[in-house]
Chain A
């Protein structure tokens, strides 16, 4: 390991680092604008200048690789003067509009100007002004503030995979933009705002809404896809103002999707803020007392065989375990947490992303089956893209999408899995020869009628081509519902073959064989198939479920409760409450607990801690917070025929997949822009 001297201190650092990274390891902070650890090195802002012996001139530390015996100074007069010079030049054309700038208070330029800026300007000429650019409904631009660090350009090209941003013109006339005006076609465009070190790119929906120092910051977990991205919820009073990513290298690195970031305005619209009961075909406001009595009476007087419960995609594990316990004490096992009836098997490895999200970074051949990761988990897709750039080969079975990276399209037909099993193809050879082959099975494929057969075939293929071995398990299911893995872990599914799952519940309800259906945040099922059953809807938004409901229990959205979620790789994570539920709405597990008391089957827990103890009792993975629990391999899926039926894309519109994003005005705008773009292309 090379040894270098920084400010008179000898340190040993890893080979291949840059001077800036070495300084960071030595605990010396280097100011920077253009350097970003997840982007390529540009070296154009010059803010990171340091002195290196015996060079007479300061060097840009972000772009200088370390060498054994290097002597670096970061605290000399020369360094200070050099940085002050750079800062003065940066500020020449930067407007002094911090008081009206959204970045104010969390601006790199502002902070560093405190350290290296002059107290007055020596520049008497006019500052340049640059026309603002249109980058879509999420990113607002004030291009006069741009300091040309090119982080946004590099992000768009390298991480998002949509090379649409660039620097046009030269010298004084250089401008960052798209040249031809258009909205960025990326599901990750919101991250540009985080990357911009100044206020040139700011969040459009959040524009002029709040100051960063007035916000209460709460650590939470995202529920818009199954990745469990780590987020920070910034709230003021009872309102969620914005959502930002938290760094978690094992999951989302430091990116989040546009839906995660910007659907939060949907939390303030169409909320269910008090209980309702349907009387004479009309929903009427009711007290908690009233609604619980109505429901309790109905549930006591209905045979457990004629009851059912379906849980939605955003539900936390606490409410899942509560509802499961309630239904089972009543003797009802018609439970399902799978609105799409996706197939799964008994060992846990059949429904999780076994290699872990971080495992993508090690895979060398990746086979995507029946999924569109760009829409089902955009941040995960960016990680696959990163691995593609590192040389991984990617194949796709199923419909073709623009995934932001090229791939071999093996077949549009899922039967190809069986073909590959029976007759080794060119691609299955590549898989077999790979060191760490990976298979990603989409939830859309598992939700088909022949999902079991697809699951079984994929499992056998995984075994055949060495995707699963003693040190590597590359059999991955790409779930897209935040509640799915948790629900399956808690056994929120039919207990035996005789009990009904979602598909059978709907069939039975159509035939009027079900009298009471409990929908726990479930809005994505076909409501018109529920027959004349008494529908209890517990949730937070007035969407399809509430529309059909006979009794409504107003619950809390993900920002309004302390919840546990298990992400697609089986990692159990806790979200903290940022704000309180609106009106009379309550935390979901507490509602179920109250109802159980009315029914006379009181659940044995009185506080969150006890609920969580109960969760650990049902499945020990719930005591293993923030970690992945190893899942053993086993037999699962059926050996049946894969049918000819056409593949149905589970997500029609990325921006609107659940009650929150459907209520969001920002997401509606994104949808419009995306549709307009699609029409223009057609």
Chain B
């Protein structure tokens, strides 16, 4: 987990779009008067989305000003959480989990597939600015390990082939189906149900 603290800065001006301004107001309204600073995390997320997946310094400063916080307090939050990117990321931010369950289920192959297909290593962005590859800690989808996250979507039950196909589909502008790549339903056992079979049948019939 090598979080880059020295961000790229980026001093171009930043301000919320009118839509995000409304969303920000909704977030701020959730907290009592004078406790605006509590909304810092959702606002940073809004800013990151609007800014193409990363937080420039201008974006962090803007959030700080919106919430009447000292700049450094926002920097502290933004550098603490790995979900905020302080460097430019590609159009697709590929985050591969390499924690124990994923590793046991073959995350090494997934990582290799990504590296070979995209021709980059962890922490790098492809030359065409399409892909950024990041190694991440557990994303909470261990049942369907190994897995990776691309922007907002989880791709699970990966192997070398499915990983490569997802990446090439993304590259060619298509949207591959998120979730399990071996057509398992949600996180049910791979070979179909093994317990509570009767109850589930009844449930289906009663519908």
Query: Which A residues contact B (CB, under 8 angstroms)?
Result: 157, 163-171, 173, 175, 178-180
Contact = CB atoms under 8 A, between A and B. Distances in A.
A164 B3 contact: no
Interface string B53-80: 0000100000000000011110110011
Contact of A169 (B5, B9, B71, B72): B5
A166 B1 CA distance: 21
Contact of A163 (B5, B70, B80): B70
Nearest to A173: B3
B73 A163 contact: yes
Contacts of B76: 166-168, 179
Contacts of B79: 168-170, 179
B23 to A, nearest CB: 26
B76 to A, nearest CB: 5
Contact of A164 (B1, B2, B9, B72): B72
Nearest to A178: B72
B3 A169 contact: yes
A249 B79 CA distance: 39
Interface in B134-152: none
Contact of A168 (B1, B2, B5): B5
Contacts, number: 39
Contacts of A168: 5, 75-76, 79-80
Interface in B78-105: 79-80
A419 B73 CA distance: 42
Nearest to B81: A170
Contacts of A170: 3, 79-80
A257 to B, nearest CB: 22
B37 to A, nearest CB: 12
B73 A166 contact: yes
Given A169-B80, A180-B71, 13 more contacts: A157-B70, A163-B70, A163-B73, A168-B80, A169-B5, A170-B80, A173-B2, A173-B3, A173-B5, A179-B72, A179-B76, A179-B79, A180-B9
B80 A164 contact: no
A163 to B, nearest CB: 4
A186 to B, nearest CB: 13
5 contacts: A169-B79, A170-B79, A179-B71, A179-B79, A180-B71
Nearest to B69: A163
Contacts of B72: 163-166, 178-179
Contacts of B5: 168-169, 173, 175
Nearest to A175: B5
A173 B5 CA distance: 8
Contact of B57 (A166, A169, A180): A180
A168 B86 CA distance: 12
Lowest 5 A-B CB distances belong to which pairs?
A: A163-B70, A166-B72, A168-B79, A179-B75, A166-B76
A168 B75 CA distance: 7
Given A170-B3, A170-B80, A180-B57, A164 B70 contact: yes
A166 B2 CA distance: 20
Contacts of B73: 163, 166
Nearest to A171: B1
Interface in B1-58: 1-3, 5, 9, 57
A175 B5 CA distance: 9
A169 B78 CA distance: 8
A180 B72 CA distance: 8
A175 B79 CA distance: 10
B27 to A, nearest CB: 22
Contacts of A180: 9, 57, 71, 75
A388 to B, nearest CB: 16
A241 to B, nearest CB: 33
A405 B73 CA distance: 17
A168 B55 CA distance: 15
B58 to A, nearest CB: 11
B3 A166 contact: no
Contacts of A166: 72-73, 75-76
Nearest to A179: B75
Nearest to B79: A168
Contacts of A165: 72
A170 B77 CA distance: 10
Contacts of B75: 166, 168, 179-180
Nearest to B72: A166
Contacts of A157: 70
B47 to A, nearest CB: 16
A173 B9 CA distance: 18
A167 B1 CA distance: 18
| Residue of B9, B57, B72, B75 with most partner-chain A CB within 10 A | B72
A177 to B, nearest CB: 9
A164 B70 CA distance: 7
B99 to A, nearest CB: 16
Nearest to A162: B70
Contacts of B80: 168-170
Contacts of B57: 180
A133 to B, nearest CB: 12
Nearest to B3: A173
A547 to B, nearest CB: 45
